[in-house]
Amino acid sequence: MLPRLSPASAKDVVRALVPPALLALGKEARRRVRGAAHTWEYVPEGWAERPTASAPRGWNVSTIPTLHARHWREFAAAVEPPHPLSVAPEHAVNPTLAVGPYSDVDVYTHHVAMTVAYALALAARGRTSLSVLDWGGGVGHYALLFRALFPDLTVEYSVRDMPAMTAEGRRLLPTATFYDDDTCFDRTYDFVVSGSSIQYAQDWQEALARLGRAADGYLFVSQIPMVHHAPSFVVIQRPYDNGYNTEYLGWCFNRPAFLEAARAAGLTLEREFLHGFKPDVHGAPEQPEYRGYLFRPTAP
C-alpha cells in the first residue's frame, strides 16, 4: 500500500513534477470555474448591498470551522516545544521545516505567533492569571498557543465569533467561553486580542472603540492590511485555495486614519509590528501590507 501523503507533502510532489506555467494555468482555471478570477480584488463601490445571488457568503459558514477542526490536533502538536511557531489554523503543518528551507507563509505565521506572544507577555507581567478576550478568535487556536508558551500562566480565555465557529469551538475547547453575540462586552479583560478580524467589521471604528473599552490592560489588533497614501477602501477575498469555500468583504485601512481613530477612541499606541504579508489586490489604488498594533487605553 502506498503511504498516504499529507496535504503539504502532496502539494510538494505536484510542484516538483508539474512545470510552473502549468501550475499557474491550473490555479487560474480553478478560479474561473468558481466564477472568480482573483483571490483578492478591489471593490470600488465599497460596502454596498448586493443582490442575494452575488452577495459574499461571509464568515458564518461551516467550511471554515470544519477545516480548523481537521487540523486541530496537528496544530496543538506543532506549537509545543521545540518546534518553530510557523503554523496557522487554515494550513497543514509544513513537514520540511526541520530539514529544509522555510517559505514566505512560514515566516508570516511565525511573525504572527511571536508578536501576539510578546503582547500577551506584556499584559501578564507580574501576574499568575490573566483574563483574555479573543475577538474573532475562531475555534480558539490562541488558547493552545498561549498554553504552550506560558505553561505557568492561568489564562481565562473567551472567544467572540460567528455561530458556526463558536459551535465547533465549544466542542474542541470546552474549557473556554465562547460568545456568538456581544454579551462578551458585558465585562472587561486584562488582555484583548483581535487577529485578522477588525477589517471584516463594516463599522470598524465602533468595533475598535468597543474593543478598547473592553481592555483593562492591553489591546492587540494584528494582521490587518494597511496602505499609506490611498484612503481606506474595500476588497473582496475569495480564499478558495485555503479550503474556506466562501467570500467576504474587508477593509484595507489608511494607516494615518486608522491610528487617528484609535487615538479618538482613547487608545495609546505602544508598538507597531510588521507581519511580512503583502497580498496582491487586483485593481487596488494602492497595494496593502499587513501590520499589527499594540495599544493601551488612555488613563482618564
Q: Are 223 and 292 a contacting pair, CB within 8 Å?
A: yes
Mean pLDDT, residues 254-263: 98
Average model confidence (pLDDT) across the chain: 87
Q: How far apart are CA 45 and CA 176, in angstroms?
A: 39
For 146, 147, 228, the CA distances from 152, given in Å and listed in that order, are: 10, 8, 40
Mean pLDDT, residues 274-286: 96
Residue for cell digits 487540523? 71
Least confident piece of the model among 23-32, 95-104, 118-127, 232-241: 23-32
- Quote the pLDDT of residue 52: 66
CB atoms within 10 A of CB 297: 19
Q: How far apart are CA 107 and CA 257, in angstroms?
A: 28
The answer, yes or no, to whether residue 290 has pLDDT greater than 60, is yes
pTM of the model: 0.86
Helix (H) or strand (E) holding 21: helix 20-33
- 10 Å CB burial of residue 78 (0-12, 13-18, 19+) is buried
Cα distance between the two ends of the chain: 68
What three-state secondary structure class fits 61?
coil
The answer, yes or no, to whether residue 83 has pLDDT greater than 80, is yes
The pLDDT tens digits for 134-187 are 999 999 999 999 999 999 999 999 999 999 999 999 999 999 999 999 999 999
The answer, yes or no, to whether residue 35 has pLDDT greater than 70, is no
- Quote the pLDDT of residue 100: 83
Q: Are 160 and 182 a contacting pair, CB within 8 Å?
A: yes
- Quote the pLDDT of residue 115: 96
Report residue 248's pLDDT band, with 50, 70 and 90 as the boundaries: very high
